[in-house]
Amino acid sequence: MRKAKIDLGKVGLWTGVLDSMPSAAANELCIEAGELGFKAIWIPEAVGRDPFVSAMRILENSSDIVVATGIANIYARDAMTMANGQRSIEEAHPGRFLLGLGVSHLHLVEWVRKHDYSKPLTYMSEYLKAMHKARFMAVGPSELPELVLAALGPKMLELAASETAGAHPYFVPPEHTHMAREVMGPEALLYPEQMVVLEDDPGVARSIARQHMKTYAALPNYANNLMRLGYAAADIESLTDNVVDAVVAWGSLDQIRKRVNEHFDAGADHVCVQVLTEEPNQVPEGWRKMAPALIG
């Protein structure tokens, strides 16, 4: 198996809550995450803060945690800007920034950013080639640092394995991790995200899960991926218990640890855990509860 150039540890954190607080508070929270033992924190890009700015703020105000983008949208900046932004962070903080790239979703690309989303796979392939050719006339790495792709379907997984270090699948159950490993082979890195709810009551846990899942389940990329794995379209649309339980691990710390280990058994190299709560300010407490069970 390929050895990662950037050490994320076995279990990291995926979170979108940092945009819900002042950046100074977000920095402090990331420092605490590192003190809890998490080596990596993954941050998204949608219509909030620029992830490159956020990454630099976190890295400048901490000493060891790795920041990964899950993901930086390739339609948000041209290939040279993306490549040289990555190089710039690597020069300032060697080995502490992992660029995760993705094609995002039709509504965010066409409706919000006004770009053409007709051929995302082709666009990604050409974009990666342009990144490698990008001119960089500054102090820093001449070669692109390690990067991964948000990949769900076989073709994007194959591209991730052949043209990048590997894949960062989101909103996936362990059976997707198994499929992704088979498609990509043994050498590519595989970093799935896993949603969790720290709640023992089934009704409460599934209610919190559905609150967060409803947006994703309505997006074709995620719905189609679950259908490829055998889940019925009607069940995905209505978020039946079997779909909720497949995507979101809930219950005791032992149950959460069991689900994370299922990803490792299926071929994951690193799992980034996203704590789901009723309110964003409750997420850090979930990190504190999970750390003793997941960091060993």
Residue 10 tokens, joined: 């076995």
Residue 255 tokens, joined: 């149950």
DSSP string, 106-145: HIIIIIIS----S-HHHHHHHHHHHHHH----SSS-SS--
127 CB-near residues (< 8 Å, 6+ apart): 74, 79, 82, 101
The whole-chain average pLDDT of the chain stands at 97
Distance separating alpha carbons of residues 178 and 195, to the nearest angstrom: 17
Instruction: Report pLDDT for 78.
Output: 98
What pTM was estimated for this model as a whole?
0.97
296 pLDDT tier (thresholds 50, 70, 90): confident
What is each CA distance from 158 to 45, 106, 125, 132, 233, in whole angstroms?
Answer: 23, 21, 11, 18, 25
Q: What is the CA radius of gyration of the chain?
A: 18
Distance separating alpha carbons of residues 114 and 107, to the nearest angstrom: 9
Residue-wise pLDDT for 195-246, tens only, equals 999 999 999 999 999 999 999 999 999 999 999 999 999 999 999 999 999 9
Distance separating alpha carbons of residues 176 and 159, to the nearest angstrom: 16
Distance separating alpha carbons of residues 239 and 215, to the nearest angstrom: 11
Distance separating alpha carbons of residues 65 and 86, to the nearest angstrom: 17
Residue-wise pLDDT for 170-200, tens only, equals 999 999 999 999 999 999 999 999 999 999 9
Question: Taking residues 19-37, what's their average pLDDT?
Answer: 97
- Report which of 103, 78, 81, 99 is spatially closest to residue 90, judged by C-alpha positions: 99
pLDDT of 249 over the 80 cut? yes
pLDDT of 127 over the 60 cut? yes
pLDDT of 1 over the 90 cut? no
In angstroms, how far is the first alpha carbon of the chain from the final one? 22
Domains of the chain, each with CATH number or no CATH: 11-294 (3.20.20.30)
